[in-house]
Structure 1
């Protein structure tokens, strides 16, 4: 039996722009600005979280249902930003370079695993290559009926517009025959 080719999972995500937390609390609860400054850490405006719940029955994961598959190992992880058609890139345009740090997690069956991360050193406007964290077997996460893909971290500065991007995860598939050989 020929080796199973790598499995590629590509997902579009979006980090919504953050409304100023102080302004929204003041308008919602009538809290004065001085009281807010004393109680709220300004760095909260720089935290982001983007996640999506995906079915384990995705067509790109079909190879993982084969009985001889015993392991799935993350090979590559990256983020890609593609500007919308006609979008002018300039001051205030959110690109991946605005991201300071980030982590990628998979969650399934009440288990969460940290699989990759990046820092501002690997962040470029259109592309971020993440560093893999170990070589855990992710088969049970990707075979689950539903699993969650999460990207979270911190921004260099507050987003004034949403940032849409694609997550691309490439996995090596290990079959029972490959282990015996």
Structure 2
């Protein structure tokens, strides 16, 4: 009896993961350091690069047991590839785009990472050409197999990068990731 295994894309629906994140405003960077270290404003201005106010980092740790990832526990799943990554602006309740409203247009560039089991992999990126006020279509970075990241007990999703300008208020958005699942098909012949 001879057994062969071949990998092929499944006809199943893609796996979709949506996560709400918030970039907090950065005016508090200097204030929090002043409180923590007792430094004067003048000393902080000398010690902290003004560009720090234009750096953002937001991340969340998620369980691999999320219902949307349940299909990845099937033993025939061999690979999971990212197909699409988008950011969508989430406005404050009852607030449209207006003067001083932080939208995704405040972002300059950024990267998306997955981290699990002490391994970190970049999966998508965006630059000025991708940024619209209410949506950012990210560019995929290669086709790494993300199965072990998404199957782990916990994994971290990170978005980090730089702003075009300082944020005076928090910026809420949603990241939507769509994954293609590849199955392994076993055939037995005599």
TM-score, normalising length from structure 1? 0.91
Deviation at 1:8, TM superposition (A): 0.4
Count of residue pairs brought into register by the alignment: 176
CA 1:144–1:27: 2 relative to 1, 3 Å: closer
Deviation at 1:88, TM superposition (A): 3.5
- 1:27 and 1:165 map into 2 onto residues whose CA distance is 29
Structure 1 position 89 matched with structure 2 position 97:
yes
TM-score, normalising length from structure 2? 0.87
Aligned-CA RMSD value: 1.7
Deviation at 1:91, TM superposition (A): 1.4
- 2:41 and 2:112 map into 1 onto residues whose CA distance is 37
Deviation at 1:82, TM superposition (A): 2.8
SS state of the match for residue 176, structure 1?
strand
SS state of the match for residue 185, structure 2?
helix
Say which one has the larger Rg.
Answer: 2
**Corresponding residue for residue 133 of structure 1:** 141
**Are the equivalent residues in 2 in contact too, given 1:3–1:175 (CA < 8 A)?**
no
Deviations 1:141-170 (A, max 9, x none): 000010000000011111111011000000
For structure 1, the residue ranges without an aligned partner over 5 or more in a row are none
Deviation at 1:24, TM superposition (A): 4.7
Structure 1 position 155 matched with structure 2 position 163:
yes
For structure 2, the residue ranges without an aligned partner over 5 or more in a row are 1-9
- 1:137 and 1:89 map into 2 onto residues whose CA distance is 38
- Please identify which structure carries the higher strand content: 2
Structure 1 position 70 matched with structure 2 position 78:
yes
